[in-house]
Amino acid sequence: MSPTGSASSTSRLAVGLALFSLYVIWGSTYLAMRVAMEGFGPFTMAAIRFLVAGVVMLAIARARGEPFPTRVQWRNALLVGTLLLACGNGGVAIAEQTVSSGLAALMVSAMPLWMALFGGLWGRWPTTKDWVALVIGFGGIILLNVGSELRGSPGGVAVLMFATAAWAFGSLWSRRLDLPKGMMAAGAEMFTAGFVLVALSLLHGERLPPVVPGRAIAAIAYLVVFGSLVAYTSYLYLLARVPAPVASSYAYVNPLVALVLGAALYGERLPQALLVSVPLILAAVALVLRPSPGRAKEPAPATPVSPPLRTPRPNRG
């Protein structure tokens, strides 16, 4: 095998592993966050998660010889981290307190539509194939929630819409900003977002309880290691190397993973439309992952790194 062919195979394998981590891990983080919030407020939980993960990632990056960010890169990391992690992840956690999980699942699964809109405003509209995949995938999520309780306060719905749009906008904007290289980018974004989340937790009036359940601590550890160190860096890796529709395709798969885990671990009822919605969602993902012949190569992004939005589980009744 030629060196070029070997490098191409390695790249495809890395992209495949990154997608798998987003599909499976981010689909499992809803349950982990639900357990973690038995002992922590939503903003406090997210602050601990990203501060710890950020420090670990910065230390690993520095040990590998990567330079610390410049002042401009710190500022850009703060902007991106705030949009993705404080507004996106933290906003969804807050919204779910007044919005049913079924409605939240529908709105969060529309995140690829937000990315398509913002990408178009930047002069890069999705291809016809990607539009078809968006319609099929979103339709599958709607079917998945047939019979669910789609309720929510106007304020919660507004926060959820803002959180989803902030995640999509921050994801695409990060490709145009001067950000650190390698793991340093993920570490800087998580670290700076952690301080924003600390401020939000104080403004929200959150306090640590006298006793924190052990399972809540274990859930935080899971979110740090898998939800942040593995999945978040995988997301940034994909943003730097694949089209936005591919990087955002996890939004369709996460609800399925959450449903299966909820049924397996908590005995929750699976929706009747599962047999119809699953093929639609899988077809949408397959269509997104299929290369578009003749499509112009994506411009090189500003974040060449090696990545929650956490998608909440649909209401299982």
Q: Which of 56, 31, 109 is nearest to 228 (CA)?
A: 56
Angle formed by the axes of helices 250-266 and 101-109, nearest 10°: 150
Whether the predicted pLDDT of 299 surpasses 70 = no
Which residues have a Cβ under 8 Å from the Cβ of 127 and sit 6 or more positions away?
A: 292, 295
pTM: 0.80
User: Residue 104: its pLDDT value, please?
Assistant: 67
Whether the predicted pLDDT of 310 surpasses 50 = no
Q: What is the pLDDT of residues 200-250, one digit of tens each?
A: 999 989 988 888 999 999 999 999 999 999 999 999 899 888 888 888 888
Comparison of pLDDT for 269 and 194, the residue scoring more = 194
Q: What is the pLDDT of residues 40-85, one digit of tens each?
A: 999 999 999 999 999 999 999 999 999 999 999 999 999 999 999 9
Comparison of pLDDT for 278 and 35, the residue scoring more = 35
Q: How confident is residue 274, by pLDDT bands cut at 50, 70 and 90?
A: confident
- Cα distances (angstroms) measured from residue 98 to each of 86, 217, 237: 18, 25, 33
Q: What is the spatial distance between Cα 21 and Cα 32, in angstroms, rounded to a whole number?
A: 15
